[in-house]
Chains A and B, each alone.
Chain A
Amino acid sequence: MKSNRKFVSGDEAVALGVRLARPHIISAYPITPQTIVVERLADFVEDGSLKAEYMHVESEHSAMAAAMGVSSVGARAFTATSSQGLLHMAECVHYASGARFPIVMMNANRSIAVPWSIYGDQRDSLSMLDSGWIQVYVEDAQEALDMMIQAYKVAENPEVMTPFMVNLDGFVLTHTYEPIELPEQEMVDQFLPMYQTGNKMSMDEPKSLCFSTSPADNQEFKVMQHMAMEGSVDVIRQVDAEYGKVFGRSYHGLTESYRCDDADAVLMTLGSVTGTVRCVVDELREKGFKVGVFKIRFMRPFPKDEVMALGKAVSKLGVLEKNISFGNEGTVFTNVNSALMALDTKVQSKNYVGGLGGRDITKDHIRAIFMDLLNHDRFEERVEFIGMGCEINE
């Protein structure tokens, strides 16, 4: 297979992936740490390597509204955001999924004010979990690039027609340089043909879109939206498998399991921290500890089957996440436990929350988590905050 290796940041990988997907319009507003994505795309439009229009909008709210306008006539739209920008856009994020516009958006995971922080945690996108968007969390620059192409293929599937958010950890992924393989444009063009849809305003067949419904009809539309999201599970798996055949890389569908088969304890992760956990798993395995890591790639649709299968095989599960739903627990943890509830056997699970506001999650933290999991049969605490800098007085 012909390929082209490049050394790029995660943001640049996203921009390269977007260029390969050939969107018609990029409507975007800059926000750290997403900025490089939209800067590179502007460069590509300028140098003619991307035949698209770069639309300078005045806010993230308008970025998504413009993207919806683009999608409403059947053209391909891209935007990118982060943190406060995603929240400013929130109204339109829900709107796009209800309208069934297959817009693809990159989100650079970043903490939410206040206190202000430009650094990464995942509270921004996880707060949008119920917005009706497909959500993937990638581990490295290569996966980021590949997912831009897969995202359009999944989103635009006639049975799915649901917008798609590709999440990259702020700075850890967006600004770290890594070698990547750049697919050939012709192969991408074959894999991802021009978007075709009936859900558009057309001169031949005029339509009214984004209409109102009375209570007599509204629920049916919402149920259809839900069914499309549930149905996207199979499409995601198929597209990933097909991508693997064509480009030589696939990502195991909705989750990726590493050394979990005979494990006594497994730590579940989201995003770039997976790489660090994988290293610790290898180290601990060498010392004879039977541990594994289970990467949750998709938060929506939620990989219920995969989580249940893991729950059947492993008795102790940790969930490591950079998110807290104040007054409860981490949102990923809630979702995992909800899937585990369907099992006959009771799995011991514990939530490890860390990395808020960009704090490092180190190998030491992860080793300590695995020891905590291995050394206890029951967990008195449901949620443990890892990497605390100081004691907080009660």
Chain B
Amino acid sequence: MNNFNIRPKDLTDQEYFYGHKACAGCGATIAVRLALKVLGERTYSVLPANCMSAVSFIYPQMAFTTNAIISPFASTGAMLSGVAAGARALGIKDFQTVGFAGDGGTADIGFQALSGAIDRGDDIIYICYDNEAYMNTGIQKSGLTPYGTKTTTSPAGENLPGAVTQKKNMFEIVAAHGIAYAATASIGYPNDFLRKLNKAKEVRGPVFLHILASCPTGWGSKTELTVELAKEAVDSGLWYLAEYENDEFTLNKNPKEFIPVEEYLFKQGRFKHLKEKDINVIIEQRDKKWEKIRKSWL
């Protein structure tokens, strides 16, 4: 069996994504930068309307040194398929086609096109960088915004605790398509992410990587805590690292004990308002999820 481990020192010194206008401490840029270092220079990137396209494609300053294109918001999956098919038809060999869509662009408006691309079995990599809201437009609730999150469209007050829905379960929804390979990741666990990217590069057929990427602006957190928060999300059990392949789920990290969720939540302005009963809802949801995970994925 292939060992897909890749050491950080094996990464190329080449930068394929730099000179962009992202906020200080942006987690998504870490995901994109690392991904391109693994996927290499023969990569076509497709980005819908999102932070990464907004900060890196403003004429005449382009931040991608590899091929990249902005797709219509709803169309990451479809344009990825088109690029891959076009390149194949022209006889171009040895290339990667990767999409970098945000949580809203993936779980909401772009969901149909993602589903279609997986259904076609196209040889594409779809990376959802998840900062848990529509950040680019001013921090509005998306389908991947967790319960209790204060956003500009899910305000917290006397009547509501912020968002009242749970994160859509994109990983398992995607897996239910019978996708070639799907995985969750976090920029707080870069080695795990690198291994999954390396694997994604080798897999033939559609790949979905769902990476949690903290966002100081949207989360109301200190810029230097970006990576730490993404790690704590995993350590507190509010995010998990897993893979799906050949009809099987694998849990990559099974913490013996979770760090208290408050430790993670209260470092962020978006959760500062949460009351004890809301925290209890979050813990209850988490425990229920982990019970299922441990029962069926281990």
Chain A interface residues toward B at CB < 8 A: 24-25, 27, 52-53, 55-59, 61-63, 65-75, 77, 91-92, 95, 201-203, 206-214, 217
| Option from B54, B62, B92 in Cβ contact (under 8 Å) with A73 | B92
The verdict on A66 contacting B67 (CB below 8 Å), with A61-B74, A73-B90, A212-B54 known, is no
Q: How large is the interface on B (under 10, 10 to 19, 20 to 34, 35 or more residues)?
A: 35 or more
Counting chain B CB atoms within 10 Å of each CB, the highest count among A24, A72, A77, A92 belongs to A72
Chain B interface residues toward A at CB < 8 A: 41-42, 44, 46, 53-54, 56-60, 62, 64-72, 74-75, 77-90, 92, 95, 112-113, 115-116, 119-120
Asked if residues A65 and B85 are in contact (CB atoms below 8 Å), the reply is no
Please give, as numbers and ranges, the residues of chain A lying within 8 Å of B88 by CB-CB distance.
53
Asked if residues B89 and A75 are in contact (CB atoms below 8 Å), the reply is yes
The verdict on A66 contacting B78 (CB below 8 Å), with A208-B57, A211-B59, A212-B70 known, is yes
Asked if residues A201 and B58 are in contact (CB atoms below 8 Å), the reply is no
Please give, as numbers and ranges, the residues of chain A lying within 8 Å of B65 by CB-CB distance.
206
Q: Select from chain B the residue with minimum beta-carbon distance to A61.
A: B74
The verdict on A74 contacting B58 (CB below 8 Å), with A58-B112, A58-B113, A69-B79 known, is no
A-B residue pairs in contact (CB < 8 Å), sample of 9: A58-B112, A59-B116, A70-B83, A72-B69, A72-B83, A203-B42, A210-B69, A212-B58, A217-B59
Asked if residues A211 and B75 are in contact (CB atoms below 8 Å), the reply is no
| Option from A59, A63, A73, A213 in Cβ contact (under 8 Å) with B86 | A73
Give the shortest distance, in Å, between B263 (CB) and chain A (any CB).
39
Please give, as numbers and ranges, the residues of chain A lying within 8 Å of B54 by CB-CB distance.
212
Please give, as numbers and ranges, the residues of chain B lying within 8 Å of A91 by CB-CB distance.
72, 74
| Option from B66, B83, B112 in Cβ contact (under 8 Å) with A69 | B83
| Option from B44, B59, B72, B81 in Cβ contact (under 8 Å) with A201 | B44
Q: Select from chain B the residue with minimum beta-carbon distance to A221.
A: B59
Give the shortest distance, in Å, between B126 (CB) and chain A (any CB).
13
**Separation of A74 and B89 alpha carbons in the complex (Å):** 10
**Separation of A27 and B89 alpha carbons in the complex (Å):** 13
Give the shortest distance, in Å, between A161 (CB) and chain B (any CB).
16
**Separation of A84 and B71 alpha carbons in the complex (Å):** 22
Asked if residues B89 and A203 are in contact (CB atoms below 8 Å), the reply is no
Counting chain A CB atoms within 10 Å of each CB, the highest count among B41, B54, B68, B82 belongs to B82
